[in-house]
A and B are shown apart, each in its own frame.
Chain A
């Protein structure tokens, strides 16, 4: 039987679906792809929400641009990192055409640091010089023509892995590997991840719990030796008091890594009007759908 925790969050989502089928970040606000994607994932398989998720998925698919990218919101035409979420949804829901077009787009995109000729020359001629970014580790930016960062890279990896399961291609596995190595290379000294910068002017920067959790979403399938220390750090974070969003992401992420956190209080009803938070909390709840983010037959390389 569904807990109050899960039921109240799902009901909150159903109650606050916009008339266009999507969800805003807050009730009554413009629909955005991010809360809509996680709303769909949180409600997937809930018989009472079948019509709700169907309408939401239709909206997301209608936001795919002709180049395969997905817009971040109906109000914003330009392509963005949310393409990864569009591909994830299309893969999970068996929409092969949109998934393939989205994958093709993701494979074309990389951060501008990979095109920086000076970094490329230095890394080739003077490998002993520690650059902030290794230009060979192709990863993903928030939007085209920008540097790559942790969060969009983690989401793109997740999307490519899900897509690779139904349609394996060597290029997918290669980009997944490069992206994962980029994430590993930008780990902060304290053990976690921030947006994607280890230091500024030679001073170490701290990590953030919510970004650490998202970074780990992109690292499933790496070797135990590579994951040992990051997972220990994430468990340490999970054991301490965290803000709701960080807790929710840590719960999803650690579940995907097979190291689940203790379940939240099953009687805790939804407390905030933050739709993305409610969706991620529902996704990571006991009986929730976090497993949807893992390739169905395990985390094999395509």
Chain B
């Protein structure tokens, strides 16, 4: 695979996010030295104008009260509502497989992974693989074992690519890096399906389909954790990854998500939904609204101009209405100001 150059995203009329009074950097004084690590960066305010560019994006919300319902059928309904073309494509399913803790729900549930495998095969994909590159654990296969992927996804080992240890190729001009390396399996896919988990996140506010792309950054180059992304900035990295990977679809597992101190140490939160769409920014904005989070207050969403729609008016909601499934996810103190009114 040869070097790939990322095309810059065309600017839209959407302005840079403004900052409100509350978002001014809180500089702790000497008395607060012990808590200096909690000093926050400003949160963006609501952008001034809607994008003039795009057509409306379809986002499907499908109810599923548990992982024991006929998930594949419901997922298929959602995918069809989004008019996704799959036939003949090489599809990579990218779950969120992070850590294992039986007391909570960190990872995309194996039932969602199995259902997606069935759906994309049924829709005529030429090939369906599963790939993930966890950010903390070296032993991806052990993690997949603990999360029951190896047990419950038929022939899992033959379908799975450890994206941390895949062959890689450079992509030019990613953030500040002249060259940034990505797994060939991800670069070569016709369609990457972000099988994300609906979770709060103690740095980004929420982790959904766009943040899930951290898992395509190879640990063999960037390490465990992928600290380079934190140095670039979490929000900026999310946006940059979305610029690189444009042939995508999102299925967010919100059947049981995570609230509070996510993405690892939070508590389980049932939202009872799968949220799907071709426009990942629109999907994430919709998930935020379901979680009771103002998407305009999440920096990565407010600053990912040109990468999809964001405003409710620009999103064609299919399936369930947001209001019928909204359930506020608990937020840690530092994020109470992102609560949707």
Does A243 make an interface contact (CB < 8 A)?
yes
Judging by beta carbons under 8 Å apart, are B169 and A75 in contact?
Answer: yes
User: In chain B, residues 217-242, which have Cβ atoms closer than 8 Å to a Cβ of chain A?
Assistant: 220-225, 227-228, 230-231
Bound CA span A252–B78, Å: 50
Q: B309-341 vs A: 1/0 string, CB under 8 Å?
A: 000000000000000000000001000000000
Which of A75, A122, A146, A245 is the one whose CB lies under 8 Å from B36? A122
User: In chain A, residues 56-83, which have Cβ atoms closer than 8 Å to a Cβ of chain B?
Assistant: 72-73, 75-78, 80-81
Judging by beta carbons under 8 Å apart, are B167 and A30 in contact?
Answer: yes
Q: Given A200-B265, A243-B145, decide whether A149 and B179 contact each other with a Cβ distance below 8 A.
A: no
Does B62 make an interface contact (CB < 8 A)?
no
Bound CA span A245–B139, Å: 7
Does B136 make an interface contact (CB < 8 A)?
yes
Shortest beta-carbon distance from B148 to chain A in Å: 14
Shortest beta-carbon distance from A83 to chain B in Å: 13
Shortest beta-carbon distance from B290 to chain A in Å: 24
Q: Given A75-B167, A75-B169, decide whether A210 and B138 contact each other with a Cβ distance below 8 A.
A: yes
Judging by beta carbons under 8 Å apart, are B145 and A143 in contact?
Answer: no
Does A208 make an interface contact (CB < 8 A)?
yes
Does A32 make an interface contact (CB < 8 A)?
yes
- CB nearest neighbor in A for B1: A75
Instruction: Enumerate chain B residues within 8 angstroms of A25, measured Cβ to Cβ.
Output: 162, 165, 220
Does B261 make an interface contact (CB < 8 A)?
yes
Shortest beta-carbon distance from B220 to chain A in Å: 6
Instruction: Enumerate chain B residues within 8 angstroms of A208, measured Cβ to Cβ.
Output: 136-139
Q: Given A129-B34, A201-B332, A210-B138, decide whether A195 and B224 contact each other with a Cβ distance below 8 A.
A: yes
Q: B23-35 vs A: 1/0 string, CB under 8 Å?
A: 0000000000110
Q: B131-161 vs A: 1/0 string, CB under 8 Å?
A: 0000011110110010000000000000000
Which of B33, B223, B264, B332 is the one whose CB lies under 8 Å from A122? B33
Which of B37, B142, B167, B227 is the one whose CB lies under 8 Å from A29? B167
Judging by beta carbons under 8 Å apart, are A149 and B224 in contact?
Answer: yes
Instruction: Enumerate chain B residues within 8 angstroms of A195, measured Cβ to Cβ.
Output: 136, 224-225
Bound CA span A132–B34, Å: 11
Judging by beta carbons under 8 Å apart, are A149 and B227 in contact?
Answer: yes
Judging by beta carbons under 8 Å apart, are B265 and A245 in contact?
Answer: no
Say what secondary structure dominates the interface of chain A.
loop
Judging by beta carbons under 8 Å apart, are A200 and B202 in contact?
Answer: yes
Does A142 make an interface contact (CB < 8 A)?
yes
Instruction: Enumerate chain A residues within 8 angstroms of B37, measured Cβ to Cβ.
Output: 132
Bound CA span A24–B221, Å: 14
Judging by beta carbons under 8 Å apart, are A141 and B261 in contact?
Answer: no
Does B181 make an interface contact (CB < 8 A)?
yes
Q: A76-93 vs B: 1/0 string, CB under 8 Å?
A: 111011000000000000
Instruction: Enumerate chain B residues within 8 angstroms of A77, measured Cβ to Cβ.
Output: 179
User: In chain A, residues 1-33, which have Cβ atoms closer than 8 Å to a Cβ of chain B?
Assistant: 24-26, 29-30, 32
Shortest beta-carbon distance from B78 to chain A in Å: 33
- CB nearest neighbor in B for A275: B165
Judging by beta carbons under 8 Å apart, are B224 and A151 in contact?
Answer: yes
Which of A129, A141, A147, A201 is the one whose CB lies under 8 Å from B33? A129
Instruction: Enumerate chain B residues within 8 angstroms of A78, measured Cβ to Cβ.
Output: 179, 221
Does A230 make an interface contact (CB < 8 A)?
no
Instruction: Enumerate chain A residues within 8 angstroms of B136, measured Cβ to Cβ.
Output: 194-195, 208
Instruction: Enumerate chain B residues within 8 angstroms of A118, measured Cβ to Cβ.
Output: 36
Does A192 make an interface contact (CB < 8 A)?
no
Judging by beta carbons under 8 Å apart, are B224 and A34 in contact?
Answer: no
Instruction: Enumerate chain B residues within 8 angstroms of A267, measured Cβ to Cβ.
Output: none
Q: Given A32-B220, A245-B139, decide whether A149 and B225 contact each other with a Cβ distance below 8 A.
A: yes
Instruction: Enumerate chain A residues within 8 angstroms of B271, measured Cβ to Cβ.
Output: none
Judging by beta carbons under 8 Å apart, are A80 and B228 in contact?
Answer: no
User: In chain A, residues 240-292, which have Cβ atoms closer than 8 Å to a Cβ of chain B?
Assistant: 243, 245-246, 274, 276
Instruction: Enumerate chain B residues within 8 angstroms of A132, measured Cβ to Cβ.
Output: 37
User: In chain B, residues 166-208, which have Cβ atoms closer than 8 Å to a Cβ of chain A?
Assistant: 166-170, 179, 181, 202
- CB nearest neighbor in B for A144: B228
- CB nearest neighbor in A for B162: A25
Shortest beta-carbon distance from A106 to chain B in Å: 16
Q: B101-121 vs A: 1/0 string, CB under 8 Å?
A: 100000000000000000000
Instruction: Enumerate chain A residues within 8 angstroms of B165, measured Cβ to Cβ.
Output: 25-26, 32, 276
A-B contact pairs, 22 of them (CB 8 A): A25-B165, A75-B167, A75-B168, A78-B221, A122-B33, A126-B33, A142-B222, A142-B223, A143-B228, A145-B231, A146-B223, A146-B231, A147-B227, A149-B223, A151-B138, A151-B223, A200-B202, A201-B261, A201-B265, A208-B136, A243-B145, A276-B165
Interface residue ranges, A against B (CB under 8 Å): 24-26, 29-30, 32, 34, 72-73, 75-78, 80-81, 112, 118, 122, 126, 129, 132, 141-143, 145-147, 149, 151-152, 194-195, 200-201, 203, 205-206, 208, 210-211, 243, 245-246, 274, 276
Closest 6 CB pairs of A and B: A142-B223, A243-B142, A25-B165, A146-B227, A30-B167, A245-B139
